[in-house]
């Protein structure tokens, strides 16, 4: 037997097999195929609205700090935990300003290589194989991926659009709560673009303490609520008794490609995650840390400065789609529209994956199919507001013309 035929069976673990292909990977393959054939076929250029990778630029102070630090030899060296102390101190100062909460930069703050590192690695740090963990449905894909890698048993709490995507914790029995070891929530919520309420996070923290559950709150959109006030686990008085919260520079400071984020949490959880990181990866370059520090200290208002841009894109794009006969639920969070599939698509019998695949092939506009965010996402598609309104409007016109022919 040729080696190439034997290797897949020998080297693919059950954990990897359980991950599947992933919605973003499937979309990436479709985008590559479209790009490859678009020019020869005379098709319009790709308009990628599938990722929350913004066209908006980071603050100049952050970029300049990175440039300055790149000239130092230590920026190219491995960065162990001790070298991240200036970053952790800046994070602690930010937490005090932002939430009025004093945190210990030595014991309660950890640098992450993107917040997805935290959500993917935390289950490995706190769960044993077969342990039960709670996710919202819809969920962000890496939340489930982390549980699969840890060989955990996911349980799902469905978010109902009719209830404003509010989590109904009372739907979980006391017995089920007692069986849980971890719950992973995130408000403001991706993909539904729902800001959420502090009362939801407070109730989750109270139940976590009562039942001995680790509460992980993924909060990269904390500064991008367009309506209402974004909740935070750090605003709950119980956070040190149960939880850890993940924050990112990707969205509020437009530094997604730099992959720098942090966790603030109860000391035992930070210690466990740090121990895991110690054998899996090092940290980001001190140059990237310098940029993040500058973002916090010199451009703390950057998220507020970009919110009006997202608000305008949201309102104008929703109006264009509604005019084309595609009803839109106005989101309370920046960056995304969570779109129910239009009636024509449902009548044609298209599920979310088929709809987005055919839309891309016909128009060059790429959305993310809702089924990639769990069973609760079926019947929806996520549109990222990551290009100028002129480009978004042109994309909407392409989509409307195609829908009219379905």
Place 13 in a pLDDT band, splitting at 50, 70 and 90: confident
DSSP-derived secondary structure letter, 234: G
pLDDT, tens only, 158-209: 999 999 999 999 999 999 999 999 999 999 999 999 999 999 999 999 999 9
Place 15 in a pLDDT band, splitting at 50, 70 and 90: confident
pLDDT at 83: 92
Distance CA 137, CA 206 (A): 21
Closest CA to 205 of 236, 161, 171: 236
Alpha helices in 127-258 (DSSP H): 141-149, 174-179, 198-211, 239-242
Closest CA to 323 of 388, 377, 383, 403: 403
Sign of CA dihedral 124, 125, 127, 132: negative
pLDDT, tens only, 217-253: 999 999 999 999 999 999 999 999 999 999 999 999 9
pLDDT, tens only, 360-383: 999 999 999 999 999 999 999 999
What pairing do the DSSP bridges indicate for beta strands 132-137 and 109-112? unpaired
Other beta carbons less than 10 A from residue 146's beta carbon: 27
Report percent pLDDT > 90 for the chain.
87
Cα Rg of the chain, angstroms = 22
Set out the domains of the chain in order of their start, with CATH numbers: 3-56+302-405 (3.90.1150.10), 60-298 (3.40.640.10)
Alpha helices in 136-197 (DSSP H): 141-149, 174-179
Place 10 in a pLDDT band, splitting at 50, 70 and 90: low
pLDDT, tens only, 31-58: 999 999 887 888 899 999 999 999 999 9
pLDDT at 76: 85
pLDDT, tens only, 279-322: 888 889 999 999 999 999 999 999 999 999 999 999 999 999 99
Please tell me the pTM assigned to this model. Answer: 0.94
pLDDT greater than 80 at residue 5: no
What is the signed CA dihedral for 376, 137, 125, 13, rounded to 10 degrees?
A: -10
Distance CA 255, CA 261 (A): 10
pLDDT, tens only, 107-121: 999 999 999 999 999
pLDDT, tens only, 54-112: 999 999 999 999 999 998 988 888 888 999 999 999 999 999 999 999 999 999 999 99
pLDDT at 32: 95
Distance CA 105, CA 71 (A): 27
- Contact residues for 270 (Cβ-Cβ < 8 A; gap 6+): 107, 108, 109, 110, 244, 263, 264
């Amino acid at each position: 037997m040729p080696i190439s035929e034997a290797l897949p069976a020998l080297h693919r673990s059950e954990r990897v097999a359980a991950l599947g292909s992933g919605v973003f990977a499937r979309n990436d393959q479709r985008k590559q195929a479209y790009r490859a054939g678009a020019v020869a076929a005379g098709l319009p250029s790709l308009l990628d609205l599938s990722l929350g990778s913004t066209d908006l630029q980071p603050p100049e102070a952050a970029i300049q700090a990175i440039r300055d630090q790149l000239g130092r030899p230590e920026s190219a060296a491995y960065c162990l935990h001790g070298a991240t102390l200036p970053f952790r101190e800046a994070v602690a100062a930010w937490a005090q300003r932002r939430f009025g909460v004093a945190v210990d930069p030595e014991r309660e703050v950890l640098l992450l290589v993107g917040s997805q590192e935290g959500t993917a690695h935390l289950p490995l740090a706190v769960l044993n194989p077969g342990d039960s963990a709670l996710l919202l449905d819809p969920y962000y894909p890496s939340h489930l991926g982390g549980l699969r890698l840890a060989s955990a048993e996911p349980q799902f709490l469905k978010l109902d659009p009719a209830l404003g995507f509010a989590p109904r914790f009372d739907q979980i029995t006391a017995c089920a709560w007692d069986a849980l070891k971890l719950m992973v929530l995130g408000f403001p919520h991706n993909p539904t673009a729902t800001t959420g309420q502090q009362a939801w996070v407070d109730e989750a923290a109270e139940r976590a303490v009562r039942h001995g559950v680790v509460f992980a709150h993924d909060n990269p959109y904390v500064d991008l609520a367009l309506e209402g006030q974004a909740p935070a686990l750090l605003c709950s008085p119980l956070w040190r008794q149960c939880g850890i919260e993940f924050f990112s520079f990707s969205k509020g400071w437009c530094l997604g490609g730099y992959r720098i984020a942090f966790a603030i949490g109860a000391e035992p959880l930070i210690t466990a995650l740090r121990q895991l990181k110690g054998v899996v990866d090092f940290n980001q370059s001190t140059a990237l840390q310098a940029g993040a520090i500058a973002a916090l200290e010199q451009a703390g208002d950057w998220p507020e400065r970009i919110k009006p841009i997202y608000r305008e894109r949201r309102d104008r794009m929703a109006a264009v789609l509604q005019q084309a006969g595609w009803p839109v639920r106005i989101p309370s969070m920046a960056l995304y529209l969570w779109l129910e599939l239009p009636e024509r698509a449902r009548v044609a019998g298209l599920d979310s994956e088929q709809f987005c695949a055919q839309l891309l092939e016909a128009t060059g506009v790429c959305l993310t199919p809702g089924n990639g965010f769990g069973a609760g996402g079926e019947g929806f598609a996520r549109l990222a507001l990551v290009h100028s309104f002129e480009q978004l409007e042109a994309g909407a016109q392409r989509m409307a013309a195609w829908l009219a022919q379905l």
